[in-house]
């Protein structure tokens, strides 16, 4: 089986993933305060419980977004490693063929 991998393309894909990760981090940071700091509209129990439910939903979203961000970062790192591995493997193979 012959693999023809373009390391530059894999590296560009990794850079794209890193850029998306940065955008997700910025958007999540900007929205976090509004999502987890909801104040009750009134002093009644319904308002307090509704605000608590909104805060819990916001915290869940922030946690999920953070997990997604971490996964994208790991994927980008894996792509960078793969690009470097293919480049090194090609160099070693070409050197061996030249002997």
Q: Give the domains, in start order, of the chain with CATH numbers.
A: 10-90 (1.10.287)
- Position 1 confidence tier, pLDDT thresholds 50, 70, 90: low
pTM: 0.74
Q: Encoding tokens for residue 10?
A: 């894999």
| Rounded CA Rg of the chain | 23
In tens, the pLDDT along 3-46 reads: 778 888 999 999 999 999 999 999 999 999 999 999 999 999 99
- Position 90 confidence tier, pLDDT thresholds 50, 70, 90: confident
The span from the CA of 80 to the CA of 69, in Å, is: 17
Average pLDDT of the chain is: 92
């Amino acid at each position: 089986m012959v693999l023809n991998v373009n390391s530059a393309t894999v590296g560009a894909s990794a850079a794209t993933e890193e850029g998306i990760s940065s955008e997700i981090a910025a958007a999540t940071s900007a929205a976090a305060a509004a999502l987890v700091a909801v104040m009750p509209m009134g002093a009644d129990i319904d308002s307090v419980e509704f605000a608590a439910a909104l805060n819990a939903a916001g915290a869940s979203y922030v946690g999920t977004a953070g997990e997604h961000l971490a996964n994208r970062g790991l994927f980008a790192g894996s792509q960078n490693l793969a690009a470097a591995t293919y480049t090194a493997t090609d160099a070693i193979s070409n050197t061996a063929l030249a002997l």
